[in-house]
Structure 1
Amino acid sequence: MSDAVPAKYQLILGRVLSGLVILFLLFDAGLKLVSPETAIKYSPPNLGWPLEVGTMYLLAILLLIPTLLHVWPRTSILGAILITAYLGGAIATQVRVGNPLFSHILFGVYLGVMLWGGLWLRDPRVRAMIPFRAGAAA
């Protein structure tokens, strides 16, 4: 099968992975927009972010815009790049405060791998940019 058209199982798996990440990110941004007080209540105080309504709104917008860009196929790659940047900031915050590696620090990495993996499976443009080949010599 050609790399230009994903196999049906690749398309389904890619949509599932992308959908899970998108739902999580929309929930996170939505909670910060709709009920910033709830987001503040459940935010760890040691992260160094001001636990204020304005901060929650800012973080929500900084996450919502790239997530919506990622949902639209024409701008999905740009959205993925911007989400990756957001996740990098989240990872840096977790490293800075010394949180546990596998549950906190790497959570952004897990989301990023799912985000890019889903995009790679369903988008031929990404497969063209990142061509994984079985048995390729280094």
Structure 2
Amino acid sequence: MTDRILVVGAALFADGRMLAARRSAPAALAGRWELPGGKVEPGELPSQALVRELREELGVEAELLERLPGEWPLGRPGYVLQAWTAKLIASDPRPLEDHDELRWLGPSEIWTVNWLDEDRPAVSEAAARLQ
């Protein structure tokens, strides 16, 4: 049996827009868009992991607002995604790790990028809160 591995993602909001991050690695995911975040490490709470991942991947401080309902299976066995809405507290996001481009998307632009299939349900939940 595969252990459950929790991955956390953030629908980062600012000025009525949501941040999308384009993957640069691994090769199978490169060029697709996702909610930034990453794996929860042993001993970490999911919320702590997400704040840490946003700092590492984007160089920002963020405040988590609401955990989106549900969790979604990812492409690898045992991996599941939980997502939160969050607001930017400090710094402008920069693609520091695993991403090569960032885009702020307004409500009418959410589906103009090629989201990872596994992120689409979380993006839908988050987009409903952008109005």
TM-score (norm 2): 0.25
TM-score (norm 1): 0.24
